[in-house]
Structure 1
């Protein structure tokens, strides 16, 4: 989810004061201080204090800027621009509660209410106070509906907080279609399994957020290198799902035929997986500090043959750099499992199950199906800690259904299916991730309304990757979400011998688990309707022989042979790269 573009810190006020060059803040600071000293009774002192605060903040003196803004507010309490800027400065100091209090206390004329509400909603969202954030952004939209970034965050907040129905008490002037089109590309994957609609949502978002670059940098016919130069562009070379999936592919690339560059926007997290990723690169090129044009020109200078974007339409993406077309061939892979309709992208790496032939025309860029499973994986056997149901606070004799997907993937229809399964299987409990307090409260309420005791829902605390994997081994059955399936989590579940029931639709995101189940030969876990999904889950819980057969099918070599054969996967990926590489 992209950051909310709320109002920025205010510019100097127009007042009866000399116009100063804000590009030279030191001179302006001295001039405003001199003016304040010489004019102790002027009615324009509030403006001088505000402008001094702007210049102090620009020069990096945040504490003095906050003092200046407080002086401005003491003289003119309804100067909402000072309240906005003071709150932003407090937030930057880590004083989030004081920032919220400043915005709450601000005297708010109509023109001020929108930025104050947007800042409040943005900050509350970062604190996972989703119910309050949703209310703030809804209030902002009721004042002015045409705020696409606010619509995007408001819609996704309702998804993350399981505030259902998602479009209840709608915004006047915004019907369901308008809300969907402005709801943002990540939320779209959990909203619909229609890839054509997902593409339209992505196109609208890109048109609004990522303007075309003035030129394309790469030679259109490519380079004549002996080894193919592959560049991977990512903000997730760290302890992130993508990092765990991609690392062994980077390690296994055939260096006699490929040279591997990593263009990295990832903050350093000091994790073992990050060290392993960086060690797997022939060239680690930090670009997080570079503007898009500079990052693109660095990629062009390295004469990359194929640039692989690992973000897509997710937070941290460098779409602005991709618009400069720094490589003659550009593909998107793994980070975003839907259409990425950026004109400068040439390919979307997938497989024939997640993007079946009859759906390919709905995607942009053009699908590039691998010969086999689309998902890279790490074949190394993880070192897992010992755990037990008792340690996790779970009953030993229950049939344990689990889903460790993020809450925004849980839809009312899927949760309705889950409560139906729980009603039909009295000894079953449902184990979910402790995602956020708003969502937990709402899921318990939804369960109660469906006739299921809320204490049959258990929530696992956030933990390190090894313990998360060990927990999967305690469950009996993984219940997938729809239309946004589990990807990495589904692969992990199968690795731990945990059967999956999934619902396959039309979109890439709604067919990921089907692709993984096909790879391990357990296609009976794939449903094509909600009724079939419920029936399969109930059968697992009530037919011990059926469940034992599924467990046995996943034992031994099923995962290593079907999903974890990274050597074979690397060969398939490299064959695809050789097909799409351009030569002059």
Structure 2
């Protein structure tokens, strides 16, 4: 090893990555560069978030290797290119890593994840079919490749969903640890002490847009509420002021799991509610340390939290009918009307934006889907093609800012005979302008098998009819749950063919479309969907029923929370 390389390695180990790159410069300019120098350079650029440079060095190092070593390095290069926003280059590199060196689990995971956001839908259709066939054939390795959240984006088979074994950023709980948690002595007080665990406590996060009104509506005579917060500082900085109203915020982001466990235990929490599940930033190992006698999964992840020690999953009878029970390790606590909180107190409700201001024509039907574009599966796109084919010069308006994904999607549409002029792309927007622009569309389209959740709620809040269809797992039944709770079940189709029929009928029948829009507007402040107070009382009754069982020494069991009597009068008055 040369002197330059030795000094660079020592400097790298000290954590001075920029100086390391400077020391490596003479080595990297040689005609033949040692693999060690390329790897150190790649690591330094990665740690300083210089992702394109990191990708280049990983790729160069991969070219010097074969087999598994090459696959590992190309996978790292693909991940760096993905972080840099170089989606096309990332996909090419990930494909080579996964298909050019024999099977490698990490390479396969990266390839599948990048493929999903690339909207190369024909390639994705074949990849999903092959992967699913292997799963159904019992290939155990495949169940440990994808993160659970990525898996349910494309797979709507809840029997397969329940068998996912990968626990991202954590280790699965054991039966012994769960039993020890439940057996630990606990002192109950007069009030039920509930603790919410999340890194989303900011009014600019989608979860809090749904849930913050519930936090503030809890009955303080019956419940003590603590928010165990590890929200990152950049998200906190975006908050517009609601966070200051959140009760009982206890920061734990600076604490490791052991210290955070101690902090939470000191609160004597009766029921801990994990608002994350298998989503970004979840602290699964912390939950699995056994923080409370009752632990509950809610809102963040639409499915069973494989490997996460929760006693209950809060759902409803639509997203989890009785047939779903075998596919959850948690007991189901099913709320009446809908499982999803939908803030009806603090959401902005601005006047509609004009089509002219949005660059949309006045005289054409506009179908809108503002779901994250990774939810656009081949099956979803095929349905959209059928709808567009049957509705003349209608437009499809979707949210997608990735240039390669846009190009891929347009190519797919064009290959199916759809004029690319009929597809319009939108960027993300602040919440008020977003709700305003949703009102400019005619019909909201859903995605399958992962429906819109917050997105469907936002569209309905804006008064936009959202068409969906019956689903086959939790994630694919959410829109039906929301539509039922708003009193518009006629927007739920029975199957694919009926979905196309429904969307085409809405596009062609102006009077029917207008009547449904009026019904949504009329129901906004009278139906259960946006009734925060009603929802909160149902959720609190769920907590009381859980606590009653625990106090009686009973194991958790399935719970169906009874509905309160229907409201006689509206609960809100804000007109469109």
Sort the TM-score into its range (normalised by shorter chain): 0.7 to 0.9
The match for 2:246 is: 280
Alignment of 1:377-526 (within 5 A): 377-380=342-345, 381-384=347-350, 387-526=353-492
Shift of 1:198: 0.7
Gaps of 5+ in 2: 554-576
Change in CA separation of 1:126 and 1:272 when aligned onto 2, cut-off 3 Å: closer
For 1:53-93, what per-residue CA distance to the aligned partner results, in whole angstroms no more than 9, with x for missing partners?
34423433222222333455567944323212212322333
Change in CA separation of 1:425 and 1:515 when aligned onto 2, cut-off 3 Å: same
Select which of 151, 160, 180 maps to 1:188.
Answer: 151
Shift of 1:403: 0.6
Shift of 1:473: 0.5
The match for 2:112 is: 155
Change in CA separation of 1:497 and 1:189 when aligned onto 2, cut-off 3 Å: same
Change in CA separation of 1:289 and 1:274 when aligned onto 2, cut-off 3 Å: farther
The match for 1:16 is: none
Shift of 1:559: 5.0
Q: Indicate conservation of the 8 Å contact 2:151/2:161, yes or no.
A: yes
The match for 2:163 is: 200
Select which of 499, 502, 521 maps to 1:536.
Answer: 502
For 1:512-570, what per-residue CA distance to the aligned partner results, in whole angstroms no more than 9, with x for missing partners?
01011101111111112110000000000111222122112112343553211101111
Partner SS for 2:226: strand
Change in CA separation of 1:173 and 1:305 when aligned onto 2, cut-off 3 Å: closer
- Residue 168 in structure 1 maps to residue 168 in structure 2: no
Select which of 539, 542, 551 maps to 2:517.
Answer: 551
Change in CA separation of 1:521 and 1:580 when aligned onto 2, cut-off 3 Å: same
- Residue 93 in structure 1 maps to residue 57 in structure 2: no
For 1:143-200, what per-residue CA distance to the aligned partner results, in whole angstroms no more than 9, with x for missing partners?
5555434322321221211122315379999964258632331122222222111111
- Residue 292 in structure 1 maps to residue 257 in structure 2: yes
Separation (CA, whole Å) in 2 of partners of 1:287 and 1:361:
35
Change in CA separation of 1:144 and 1:335 when aligned onto 2, cut-off 3 Å: farther
Change in CA separation of 1:167 and 1:397 when aligned onto 2, cut-off 3 Å: closer
Separation (CA, whole Å) in 1 of partners of 2:225 and 2:108:
40
Partner SS for 1:418: helix
Select the structure of larger CA radius of gyration: 1
The match for 1:137 is: 94
Q: Indicate conservation of the 8 Å contact 1:145/1:172, yes or no.
A: no
- Residue 375 in structure 1 maps to residue 334 in structure 2: no
Partner SS for 1:555: helix
Change in CA separation of 1:528 and 1:465 when aligned onto 2, cut-off 3 Å: same
Select which of 63, 70, 89 maps to 1:113.
Answer: 70
Q: TM-score, normalised by structure 2?
A: 0.86
Across the two proteins, how many residue pairs are aligned to each other?
536
Change in CA separation of 1:363 and 1:70 when aligned onto 2, cut-off 3 Å: same
Select which of 324, 342, 345 maps to 1:359.
Answer: 324
Cα RMSD (Å) of the superposition? 2.7
- Residue 339 in structure 1 maps to residue 284 in structure 2: no
For 1:455-488, what per-residue CA distance to the aligned partner results, in whole angstroms no more than 9, with x for missing partners?
1000112211111111111011001111111111
Partner SS for 1:299: helix
The match for 2:565 is: none
Separation (CA, whole Å) in 2 of partners of 1:560 and 1:85:
62
Separation (CA, whole Å) in 2 of partners of 1:99 and 1:416:
37
Partner SS for 1:168: helix
Separation (CA, whole Å) in 2 of partners of 1:487 and 1:172:
28
Alignment of 1:246-261 (within 5 A): 246-261=211-226
Q: Indicate conservation of the 8 Å contact 2:172/2:308, yes or no.
A: no
Alignment of 1:215-234 (within 5 A): 220=184, 222-234=186-198
Change in CA separation of 1:484 and 1:70 when aligned onto 2, cut-off 3 Å: same
- Residue 237 in structure 1 maps to residue 201 in structure 2: yes
The match for 2:559 is: none
Change in CA separation of 1:217 and 1:228 when aligned onto 2, cut-off 3 Å: same
Shift of 1:102: 3.0
Alignment of 1:48-59 (within 5 A): 49-59=4-14
- Residue 210 in structure 1 maps to residue 171 in structure 2: yes
Partner SS for 2:154: coil
Partner SS for 1:136: helix
The match for 2:38 is: 83
The match for 1:66 is: 21
Change in CA separation of 1:360 and 1:436 when aligned onto 2, cut-off 3 Å: same
Separation (CA, whole Å) in 1 of partners of 2:132 and 2:478:
32
For 1:240-296, what per-residue CA distance to the aligned partner results, in whole angstroms no more than 9, with x for missing partners?
2112111111111111211111122211234564742353122x2222233333322
The match for 1:310 is: 275
Separation (CA, whole Å) in 2 of partners of 1:170 and 1:382:
39
Partner SS for 2:113: helix
Separation (CA, whole Å) in 1 of partners of 2:430 and 2:76:
32
Q: Indicate conservation of the 8 Å contact 1:195/1:339, yes or no.
A: no
Q: Indicate conservation of the 8 Å contact 1:385/1:466, yes or no.
A: no
Q: Indicate conservation of the 8 Å contact 1:347/1:368, yes or no.
A: yes
Separation (CA, whole Å) in 1 of partners of 2:129 and 2:111:
11
Q: Indicate conservation of the 8 Å contact 2:294/2:310, yes or no.
A: yes
Change in CA separation of 1:449 and 1:323 when aligned onto 2, cut-off 3 Å: same
